[in-house]
Chains A and B, each alone.
Chain A
Amino acid sequence: MWAVAKKEFRQYFLSPIGYIYIGVFLLMCSITFYTNIFLSQSTNFASIFSLGATVLTFLVPVLTMRTFAEERKNSTEVLILTSPTSVKAMVFGKFLAAGMVVLLSIACTFLYYVILSFFGEPAFSTSLVAMIGFALLSLAYVACGMFISSLTENQVVSAIISMIVFLVLSFLSDVWAGFDPFSIIDAFTTFESGLISVHDVVLLLSFTGFFIGMTVLVMNRRKYVK
């Protein structure tokens, strides 16, 4: 598992994708920091994630589109699948690598907290809760994007389908109120307000777990249908 994770993580930074992800993410954070905190002279650190779900909708597909699609296209997956490394380890490794990039970008937002604490007294605990919530949300997105990447061998198709799925996810609770308890974005807004509820943690983690499991299933099935 670590072998795959290490190599994938390195590959994110051998290609520009890792830098693009972190760069664009921090740019968006800077904009929200400027408009929501600096201009309105607020000390609510959590509000820099107010555009978070939208940013993830467009950024995460860029990160996850290559995970499986690229290997399938170059048929390099055969190297992993014919080695004693199991499919589970491969999927977890890839998830870990993409997850590490995402977590790294979130860790960078701690800088904004440091800047903010020069000018005011932001509440540390609520800021931390917001960061944890956003990390869980991002990992859920990564798992979903990775699953979609495992379905196709075309990276562009994978990215576009992921974006559509993420858009639908963010609109669904507006269209149909019955979806609310299952909306991962609503779950994140609770974190944003500084609350950790068991329901939300379980929802986000099970969403992530579900898609990792589905990816393992898809990869296992490839053995029979290829």
Chain B
Amino acid sequence: MIEIKNVTKKYGTFAAVNDISFDVKDHEIVGFLGPNGAGKSTTMNMITGFIEPTSGKIIVNGYDVSKAPNKAKMQIGYMPENVPLYNDLTVKEFVSYMCELRKVPKKDRDLQIRKIIKRAGLTEVQDKLIKHISKGYKQRTSLAGALVGEPDVLILDEPTVGLDPKQITEIRNLIKKLGENHTVILSSHILSEVSQICSRVVIINHGKIVAVDTPDNLESTSSEEDTILITVEDPDNKMSGIKSRIKACKEIKKIKELNDGTVQYRIVSSKDAEVNKELFEVLPKENITICELRKEQSSLEDAYLKIINEKDEEIAKEEKREKRERLARQRKLESMDLLERRRTIREEKRKRQDEIDKEFFDNLMEENKIREAKKKRRQLEKKNRKGDKK
């Protein structure tokens, strides 16, 4: 169980991750999607305790990553992006080093090293130097490092990047198998991968979460229209007149003429209108033969692009608005005389300071409240304990 509560990471004034919150349940595989620089790796680094959030809380299996880092880190196996490895160690030495770092008891070490090497499919290369093995094996070695110590939670940052299709399927199957008794968070650029492996998807853009849902739900909500691809033999060229005869049909568009004299059209209709039936009834009457008819699946990719684009537009709008406000203020200031301008600026400053002060005091009050509540609880507990003793 991973709980991420209002986590923010700022670099100067730039917020790489901005107030995100989500939960990952036990034995769930969650996919982390987003364009480059969206804050995926930053979030993962924060969960693993590699970097400290500016504000917010991350709790892994009940341990706060900032307050009990060592206990929390015991719960997490991390496969970082770009697979950092020690090139002058052999695969076996690397796994054994990770065992020592992760404090695996000495008596279990040998057995665990053997088990992990077998599980990650590294038996053939276990005595080779890491710098001499192929990229696929390097990826597996890094994954093996994450498995050391049998952690409950696995965090995999782009585990299949740069692999060939066969290796990708192998790693994917391995992750699926691991998901049976681990909680897994993985980030990826490959959307089909996420929809295949993950039970839930978190889409993140510009440091903010834009969607959390199952892949299926995301796919179905992405489109308001159904699209049908149809290939027909149409000797009399009657296809363009069909539109008026089918009510639900919004648009018929010719895509291309194929070599065998057939023509492919795209038919767009309103959602769940069941146009196929009507097509099968109407077209034969017009002497049009249907060679192929299939529904165009709206994919996770569409959903993803749609969500990301919406967010981008929103941000662009926000920026535009801010710019407009700034310009308006400047123009207003320019139209005033010197004294008036000074007064306005002073007033603006005071207002801003007041806002900051108010926020500060509000926070203080809240903290006090929490502290008092804790105190009360402690006193109550003490009383109870005393009562027990008596």
Say if A and B assemble together: yes
Name A's B-contacting residues (CB within 8 A).
2-4, 6-7, 11, 14-15, 74-76, 78-86, 223-224, 226
Report how far A75 CA is from B82 CA in the complex, Å.
9
State which of B72-80, B250-258, B307-315 sits at the interface with chain A. Answer: B72-80
B288 lies within 8 A of chain A by Cβ: no
Inter-chain contacts of A226 with B (CB < 8 A)? 45, 50-51
Inter-chain contacts of B49 with A (CB < 8 A)? 81-82, 223
Q: Mark B122-144, 1 if CB is under 8 A from A, else 0.
A: 00000000000000000000000
Q: A223-B50, A223-B51, A226-B51 are in contact. Are A3 and B101 (CB under 8 A)?
A: yes
Cβ contact of A14, chosen from B48, B73, B84, B88, cutoff 8 A:
B88
Inter-chain contacts of A15 with B (CB < 8 A)? 88
B97 lies within 8 A of chain A by Cβ: yes
Report how far A224 CA is from B50 CA in the complex, Å.
9
Inter-chain contacts of B87 with A (CB < 8 A)? 74
CB distance from B86 to the nearest CB of A (A): 6
CB distance from B314 to the nearest CB of A (A): 29
Q: A15-B88, A74-B84 are in contact. Are A83 and B98 (CB under 8 A)?
A: yes
Inter-chain contacts of A75 with B (CB < 8 A)? 80, 82, 84
Are A3 and B97 in contact (CB-based, < 8 A)?
A: yes
B102 lies within 8 A of chain A by Cβ: yes
Report how far A74 CA is from B142 CA in the complex, Å.
14
Are B84 and A11 in contact (CB-based, < 8 A)?
A: no
Are B84 and A78 in contact (CB-based, < 8 A)?
A: yes
Report how far A74 CA is from B82 CA in the complex, Å.
9
Are A3 and B73 in contact (CB-based, < 8 A)?
A: no
CB distance from A218 to the nearest CB of B (A): 15
Report how far A82 CA is from B77 CA in the complex, Å.
8
CB distance from A172 to the nearest CB of B (A): 37
Report how far A78 CA is from B88 CA in the complex, Å.
17
User: Which of B70, B76, B84 has most chain A Cβ within 10 Å?
Assistant: B84
Are A83 and B84 in contact (CB-based, < 8 A)?
A: no
Q: A3-B101, A84-B74 are in contact. Are A79 and B145 (CB under 8 A)?
A: yes
| Apart from the given pairs A3-B100, A11-B89, A82-B76, 13 other A-B contacts in the complex at a CB distance below 8 Å | A3-B101, A7-B89, A78-B45, A78-B84, A79-B98, A82-B50, A84-B103, A85-B103, A86-B70, A223-B50, A223-B52, A224-B51, A226-B45
Inter-chain contacts of B45 with A (CB < 8 A)? 78, 226
B197 lies within 8 A of chain A by Cβ: no
B85 lies within 8 A of chain A by Cβ: yes
